[in-house]
Structure 1
Amino acid sequence: MNCQKNKFLLNKKYAYLNCAYMAPQLKKVEKAGRKGLTKKRQPNLITPDDFFHDLNTIKMLFSELTNAGDKNRITLIPSASYGIANVVNNISLTKGDNVVVAGDQFPSNVYPWMNACQAQQAELKIVTAPESTENRGKIWNEKILNSIDSKTKAVALGHVHWADGTLFELIAIRKKCDEVGAALVIDGTQSVGALPFDIQEIKPDALIVAAYKWLLGPYSVGVAYYGERFDQGKPIEQNWINRLNSENFAELVNYRNEYQSGADRYGVGERSNFILNPMLIESFKQILQWQPANIQEYCKNLMAPAIEEIRSKGYYIEDESQRASHLFGIKIPTDKMDALAKALKNHKVSASIRGSFLRVSPHVYNDQRDVNKLLRAFRSIGRADS
């Protein structure tokens, strides 16, 4: 796969190694947004079918991307926290139950559980990463598996850790969840679109994905998959479009108790967005053309020489078998943090400091010039132990 920088409008003076923060916009996605913006100039041309056509296309494309099987298990959400809230609202917790999350996990998949556990006197088990860097990813996964017991009602985490890229062994975790009857709830915001995710293989009860990172979509839109566990659940929002037969505008005042089938009961109101939805469709089409496996391979090959050099200077990066290639962390000694931040700025490198790690998140728009800027920043601050 060749570099795809020409499909974006990035400033070539800067090395944008920060897709985990926010994806740059594809030219074709921007074009779709502009076209959608003009649509409302003449609202008389917007038909009832326009409220549903793009939604159906998005569900089909996301189903193809994740091998969901049934597109009707997919719906649109405005954010990861919204999608998680629907899950938490339909998980019954009682005193003594527990919910398992990974340490230093992104807040949107922690705060809702924290609130629910506090309200029901349940335990929130936060499984922290091991202190030692030796076999760190392997041991962390073992700790998560060992924390799941007969009182566990849900395991909520990402496919990769958002700060350092550690891969979580979701198939093994799914198996353990099945043994105790726990739900597996995945925030795929930092993986889906760049790392292969197979719903039929992993079998999550819910997969929640904000679109503005690895799905290369716009802000304030996301996609959610809800499995059979949530078929009869109660959504957090009561809107017109999540009720049965909402396609029939003439009958909307004939109020219905029944919800739409599948995941659409959990969809956000005003999800028929005539600007954001066409943009998301274009981003899905591009990702499906590239394929996540090829994105992983591109990032792996691009970053491999740089990772070797950075490691040779004493900086820790997780073993390749235990992390993703599109997102990985470089552990930075505390006394090097300020110098690194200045070096990144001086060499025009965009990457995120998260906790004790520099999070590097390349994509197919990056090239060797970008990598060289990152290396010059590290060369300027010296060895980790100097």
Structure 2
Amino acid sequence: MDISKQKDLFDIPEEICYLNTASLSPSFRAVEKAGIDAVLQKSRPYLIPSSDFFDPVIELKKRFAKLIELDEYERIATIPSASYGIATVANNIKLNPGDTIVLMQEQFPSNYYSWKKLTDTHQAHLKIVQAPKTRTNRCRLWNEAILDAIDDSTAVVAMGHIHWSSGALFDLKAIRKKTRQHNALLIIDGSQSVGALPFSVKDIQPDALICAGYKWLFGPYGCAYAYYGPYFDNGEPLEENWTNRLDSHKLPDLTQYQDTYKPFANRYVMGESGSFIHVKMQLEALKQVLLWTPEAVQAHCRELSVKAVLELRNLGCYIEDDAYRSHHLFGLELPDSVDLKAFKKALSDQNIFVSFRGAYVRLSCHIFNTERDFQRFITCLKSVLT
């Protein structure tokens, strides 16, 4: 399969330069059709079999499990958002006074607020690992600082596979090794990596992996996935819905109330997890993501952006070292000479879509992008350099 010739899967007009999948992915045509078909099916609910509450969800879990190299699909829960998954994790962790939770500088808010609340509740502490100020070997030094921050006081390390603004790549294998030495949990937010960057539960062995589903997994807004490892096998779900109890598929017997949850992560699924519209769209999305493979997506993004990255650096932009960042998502620190207000207006006028996050202009690409998209961005940037 030539991954570079699949732009026709999408409905993106030629005049649009979309370098913003990290914010919200475009649906490809098959996902759009699946959603429309599901909406029409809901118009005739008598044609929806009771098995549709369960069987498609099982298939969805199997596909996500395959994507992250996990054999036990029942360790996957379908959830409505990354914040729901993180809150579930935090709900099942008890801290001692003086314990620390290690976070990265400027993590996404959904992977901060639950930890702040948890440490405040238990008189514990957040330990925020700052990115080094230097532009030389910044990410390598940041990884070293993360490892140094993990000690006997550490109860949890919660972080992304990459930094959501800069694309800085974290050495999860080394971090996992250090957390094991200190009996700390490792909780990964894969929202900006899984699907576009290879991730293996077998290799990393996190205690939990949480992923928003509407970015690199191409699902509709309002869907997400979670992997929960053995630590959470007997935990408390955020809600008590009928589908997470044993034998819930036996609809005539639902009022034979059941104290026992389904095994593994099934206890953590959200209410209405069989959402007919969302699940059908998610199934179609993961089918295609698996066909592409994260390895091929990452290689494509690296190839189409390599010239642009060199030119951007020559223009005075700072980008993390290539060996310590992702290629589907990376941030630019702009030169001081850029008039930011004029730049944002120029981007808007020319239908170029990117994100401004903290100190970075974040560029994020996928298989529908070409070198021309990056050149349009660079031309626009040149127009406001003084």
Structure 1, 43-52 or 267-276: larger mean CA deviation: 43-52
**Is residue 163–residue 357 contact of structure 1 (8 Å, CA) maintained in 2?**
yes
Do residues 351 (structure 1) and 354 (structure 2) align? Answer: yes
Contact (CA 8 Å) 1:231, 1:263: kept in 2 or not?
Answer: yes
Q: Assess if the C-alpha contact under 8 Å between 2:302 and 2:328 holds in 1.
A: yes
Q: Larger deviation: 336-345 or 168-177?
A: 336-345
* Equivalent of 1:323 in 325, 329, 343: 325
Give the corresponding residue for 1:158.
160
Match of 1:342 among 337, 345, 358: 345
Q: Which residue of 1 aligns with 2:268?
A: 266
Residue 201 (1) aligns with residue 207 (2)? no
The structural deviation recorded for 1:278 is 0.7
Q: Does 1:297 align with 2:299?
A: yes
Higher deviation after alignment, 1-10 or 189-198: 1-10
TM-score, normalised by the number of residues in structure 1: 0.97
Q: Counterpart in 2 of 1:364?
A: 367
Q: Residue 133 of structure 1: CA displacement?
A: 1.0
Separation in structure 1 between the aligned mates of residue 183 and residue 96 of structure 2, nearest angstrom: 15
Q: Which moved more, 1:104-113 or 1:332-341?
A: 332-341
Task: Provide TM-score, normalisation by structure 2.
Answer: 0.97
Counterpart check, 1:192 vs 2:178: no
In structure 1, the partner of 2:31 is: 29
1:334 CA displacement: 5.3
Q: How does 1:1-386 map to 2 (within 5 A)?
A: 1-333=3-335, 336=338, 337-382=340-385
1:282-326 Cα distance to aligned partner (Å, 9 max, x none): 110101111111101111110111111110111111111000000
CA RMSD after TM alignment: 1.1
Letter in 1 for 2:328: H
Give SS of 2:274's match: coil
SS at match of 2:289: helix
Letter in 1 for 2:230: E
Superposed CA deviations along residues 168-187 of structure 1, whole A, max 9, x for unmatched, are 11000100110111111011
Do the aligned residues in 2 keep the contact of 1:3 with 1:367 (CA within 8 Å)?
no
C-alpha distance after superposition, 1:208-232 (max 9, x if no partner): 0111000011010111100001001
Residues 55-102 of structure 1: CA distance to partner in whole angstroms, max 9, x if unpaired?
Answer: 011011011111011101001000000000110011111210010111
Answer whether contact 1:189 1:211 (CA < 8 A) is retained.
Answer: yes
Q: Separation in 1 of the partners of 2:171 and 2:71? A: 22
Which runs of 5 or more residues in structure 2 are unaligned? none
Which AA in structure 1 matches 2:286? F
TM superposition shift of 1:48: 2.0
Contact 1:24 1:216 in 2 (8 A): yes
CA distance in 1, matches of 2:186, 2:120: 20
AA of the residue aligned to 1:42: R
**1:339 Cα deviation after fit:** 3.2
**Which consecutive unaligned segments of at least 5 residues does structure 1 have?**
none
Q: Is the 8 Å Cα contact of residues 91 and 153 (structure 1) preserved in structure 2?
A: no
- The aligned length equals 383
Deviation of 1:348 after TM superposition, in Å, equals 2.1
Structure 1 residue 151: deviation in Å? 1.3
Which residue type is aligned with residue 264 of structure 2?
A: G
Secondary structure, aligned partner of 1:316: coil
Question: In 1, Cα distance between the equivalents of 2:223 and 2:126?
Answer: 28
> Does the CA contact (< 8 Å) of 2:34 and 2:280 recur in 1?
yes
More off after superposition, 370-379 vs 337-346: 337-346
